[in-house]
Amino acid sequence: MVGSVFGVLYLIFISGIASQGRKANDHLDEDTDYGRVGSVVSPHGDLKNDFQTLVVDAEFGTTYKEIVDLKSQILFVYNFNVTEGLNQTTAVRVSVSSINSTSSSPVMVVVRQRQGIMSWAVPLFIDYIYAYSSVSRTLCPIFHLSGSDTEEDPQQQIFVEVSSMAVNATPFTFSAERLPDFELRHSEMKNTTVSPSEPQYFLYKFPEKVTSVLIKVKSDSITCMVVSIQDVRCPVYDLDRNVEFAGKYQTMSTQAAMLLQASDYEHKQFYVVLIVKPLDLDCLGIEQIQTTGASTARGKNVTILVEDTIPKSQYYKGIFAAVGFFSIFYVIAGAMLCCFHRCGTSKSLMEISDSERDKLTGFIQPGYHTTNQNAGTPSDIDSSQSFVQSGATYGSMSSNLAKELEPVVPGQATPPQTPPGHHRADSLDESDVDFLHDANEEKDIFRTKTALFVSDLARKSRKKLSKLYKIYHWNLFTIAIFYGLPVAQLVITYQNVLVATGNEDLCYYNFDCAHPLGVLSCFNNVFSNIGYVLLGILFILLVWHRDSSHKRLVREHGDVEQRFGIPQHFGLFYAMGVALVMEGVMSACYHVCPNYSNFQFDTSFMYIIACLCMLKIYQSRHPDINAKAYQAYLCMALVIFMAVIGVVYATRLFWIMYAIVHMLVSLLLSAQIYYMGRWQIDRYIFKRLWYVFVTDCLKCARPTYRDRFTLLLIGNAINWSFAIYGAIKQPADFASYLLAIFIGNLLLYCLFYILMKLLTGEKIKMVAIFIILLSMVTWGSALYFFFSHLTSWHKTPAGSRESNRDCILLEFYDAHDVWHFMSAVSLFLSFLILLLLDDDLSLKRRDRIPVF
């Protein structure tokens, strides 16, 4: 009521002073309808008769061509009512254009309505650089609701004042229209066109019983724009300079999507605001030079669709389906343990009878445990002679030796006994080896033999080695706590910042399949990592079961265990299980808010897993010379540090330095492995490398240790290829590139180990073969989904959203979630392979198990 009275008084005032005016400028069109303008009072109280205000009783849908200058202005008055329908919304769009206006004397537009005041200038400058001579804005909508002011006084007025400080007359074109399709309808597409100076926004109201919706905006054009969701209030922030002040928003090139909850909005309605940016820098990541006049060509056609989201029941289906799937592995593991260890389907040192065990231990003689360190076992002597006489080298075994190395089968002939006078080298304590004055000479004798057996490299005390290997998982557990807590705190802070600012460009989600729950914006990507945690715990339990059985064997039959099979140390296995659990935790933390800054959280424990697996393979037949825990974790820390530097500072200089370091480290590590740790790193190292090259490559027909040389040659070729490729191509994703190097080396080592087992006459049990084949299938499936690339943090947020896709599993999980499931299964199966691969050697004498 007050507004209408004010409008009437204002019109009476304007009409009164208009009778004292004069005609407008002569160059106006004679048929243009404009009012008389009177004098206005100056700030000093003097009456000025040279200023004119033209009052136009305007109508919607009519275009007006007028002029303004320093001494005249135009006032457009719109009168209308909103009695056309209850609970309806009236929106008015105003358009002003002027090609003759300048930045120094623009045409100024002020709109007054009951809801507030809006103003802008023509030309409209965006980023203070790009000028637009045509501007269209949607005014604050008028809601005709039951019990509101509009029900008591449906009459509405809009005043649009157009003026200019230009000395010369400035023509302009003006129009206003009511928008008939201002509201978005549920599940119906809406097409519209936007530009930097002509933003658009629409109203959406939640239907009854709809608690959440997914808004999808798509376009064939890559022109950069912003999609903003704002509360229903005035003013609406619909310009590039202020769109970030309210609501939530995303940059967009070809598609954007947002999931919105009705509970987040007071009246269960919101505005969808569309704004085209003057530049494509925020979407494409590169700044393009925009020529004069190009601003008019930045129109963008977009399609808006508001559709239903999945019901809460689908959340339960997705959660329980994932937990149920991984629970099956627990059931299978329990069934297999029962089958193989209680039903008697597998034979080991614990399962055989006492008579069979006595036959195995029959060759042990009194006085077997002596301190004569240099005495070799007959098997060592005989084996070495067999190699020399047959002309075969290690890994190329004669038929006689291969026959000798067959495992001892219970019930068959007893192995030849050790003659008196010969002493077992593997009975020596670590103190007998490492702390005597001739310890280095002792190691040189045993570790540099042409034909090496596990007994030669298992001379240290079992108790001492067990303590050393236990440090692996306890150290890793400590690292996980100190590393994981700050990570969790950081990603939670990211999530809170996203909610507080509404900037959804902070996190690289697959917005087409992002299901929020609680404080998590993408719960499904976080929860899908449950497989790593559950299977990691299961692997730890399986290792604990095997460790317990082994401890019981040591207590009851320590002498037998010490001479048969691969030395059993479970510290690295426990560490692998902890690493798998932490990979799930860290990946979940990363997916709370995946972005450029925290990608290393997702890959850190993948590096650790790859390193631990390689260490475990090497430890199987080199138990005495494996790396210490602190040394291994220090190297892993350096790898992670290098990954961070590569992500943040991947310049050409960095890639060159990395390639050089990579190749040098490969050479030094190869030398260390080739000489079984009997290699010193000092100032003469390069001289020794040259001597090795001359003696083993140039002067000899074959290297001293042919198998090791072949493996290291292939490994160096692959690693040097990786290094050179990186220096030349410089991949954008350094973290994935580095992870590929570790996975490639691990795969090469696994293949070599399996191949050498077969070449030396060893067998692989059917269970292990089945798991190997199954893991190949799961790894292939996992990699297929991994390369789906639904998001990419090395692109811009808008560029990453171009790859977003719908859910593919249970309407809840996307392709990346399936990658989480399949890779968790694949890693678990790979761990089982390492756990079971040498079970065929449990009844084979340790001094007949070759080292490779």
Q: How confident is residue 676, by pLDDT bands cut at 50, 70 and 90?
A: low
pLDDT for the residue numbered 352: 59
pLDDT at 48 over 60: no
pLDDT (0 to 100) of residue 398: 38
- pLDDT at residue number 709: 80
Question: Which pLDDT value is given to residue 193?
Answer: 93
Q: Is 391 left (phi over 0), alpha (psi -120 to 50) or beta?
A: left
Residue 450: band (very low, low, confident or very high) from pLDDT cuts 50, 70, 90: low
Residue 51: how many CB atoms within 10 A of its CB?
16
Q: Give the model confidence (pLDDT) of 599-622 as tens digits.
A: 888 888 999 999 999 999 988 888
Give the mean model confidence (pLDDT) for residues 239-246: 88
Of the listed ranges 51-65, 145-159, 300-314, the least confidently predicted one is: 145-159
* Residue 689's pLDDT band (cuts 50, 70, 90): low
Of the pLDDT bands very low, low, confident and very high (cuts 50, 70, 90), residue 713 is confident
What pLDDT, on a 0 to 100 scale, did the predictor assign at position 669?
A: 81
Mapped onto helix, strand or coil, the DSSP state of residue 198 is strand
Q: What is the pLDDT of residues 752-784, one digit of tens each?
A: 889 888 888 888 999 999 999 999 999 999 999
Rounded mean pLDDT, 665-681:
73
Measured CA to CA, the distance from residue 78 to residue 158 in angstroms comes to: 5
* Residue 95: closest CA among 53, 70, 60: 60
Most confident of 187-196, 342-351, 786-795: 187-196
**pLDDT of the residue at 516:** 92
pLDDT band at 349 (very low <50, low <70, confident <90, very high): low
Q: Alpha helix (H) ranges present in 425-461?
A: 430-434, 439-447
Quote the pLDDT of residue 557.
Answer: 74
Q: 490: buried, middle or exposed (CB in 10 Å: 19+, 13-18, 0-12)?
A: middle
Share of the chain above pLDDT 70, in %: 75
Three-state DSSP class for residue 798: helix
| 396-410, 545-559, 656-670: which is most confident | 656-670
Higher pLDDT, 338 or 525: 525
Whose structure tokens read 């059985």? 549
Which residue did the predictor score with more confidence, 67 or 678?
Answer: 67
Whole-number average pLDDT of the chain: 79
Task: Name the residue among 152, 194, 24, 174 with its Cα closest to residue 108.
Answer: 174
State residue 478's pLDDT score. 92
Residue type, 97: S
Q: Would you tell me the crossing angle of helices 571-592 and 815-836 to the nearest 10 degrees?
A: 170
pLDDT digits (tens, 9 = 90+) for 638-658: 888 888 888 888 788 899 999
- DSSP type of residue 696: I
Q: Look at 259 and 361; give whichever has higher pLDDT.
A: 259
DSSP secondary structure letter of residue 841: G
Helix (H, G, I), strand (E, B) or coil at 537: helix
The mean pLDDT value for 400-411 works out to: 42
The percentage of residues in the chain with a pLDDT greater than 90, rounded to a whole number, is 36
One DSSP character per residue, 597-662 reads TSTHHHHHHHHHHHHHHHHHHHHHH-GGGPPPHHHHHHHHHHHHHHHHHHHH---HHHHHHHHHHH
Distance of CA 569 to the CA centre of its chain: 34
Is residue 501's pLDDT more than 80? Answer: yes
Average pLDDT, integer, range 178-191: 90
Which of the pair, 10 or 198, is modelled with greater confidence? 198
Residue 294, pLDDT score = 47
Task: State how far the Cα of 118 lies from the Cα of 99, in Å rounded to an integer.
Answer: 22
Q: What is the pLDDT of residues 257-296, one digit of tens each?
A: 999 999 888 888 999 999 999 888 888 877 655 554 444 5
Looking at residue 831, its pLDDT comes to 95
Residue 839 has pLDDT above 80, yes or no: yes
Q: At 678, is the pLDDT very low, low, confident or very high (cuts 50, 70, 90)?
A: low
Assess whether pLDDT exceeds 50 at residue 392: no
Assess whether pLDDT exceeds 80 at residue 687: no
Question: Cα separation of 679 and 154, whole Å?
Answer: 94
Of 445 and 456, the structure prediction assigns the larger pLDDT to 456
pLDDT of residue 276: 92
What per-residue confidence (pLDDT) applies to 628? 84
Is-contact 767 341, C-beta < 8 A?
Answer: no
Please write the tens of the pLDDT for every residue from 525-574. 999 999 999 999 999 999 999 988 888 888 877 677 778 888 888 989 99
Kind and range of the H or E run holding 668: helix 652-674
Give pTM, 2 decimals: 0.79
pLDDT at 342: 56
Per-residue model confidence as pLDDT tens digits over 806-825: 999 999 999 999 999 999 99
pLDDT band of 785, cuts 50, 70, 90: very high
Q: 8-17, 192-201, 494-503: which has the minimum mean pLDDT?
A: 8-17
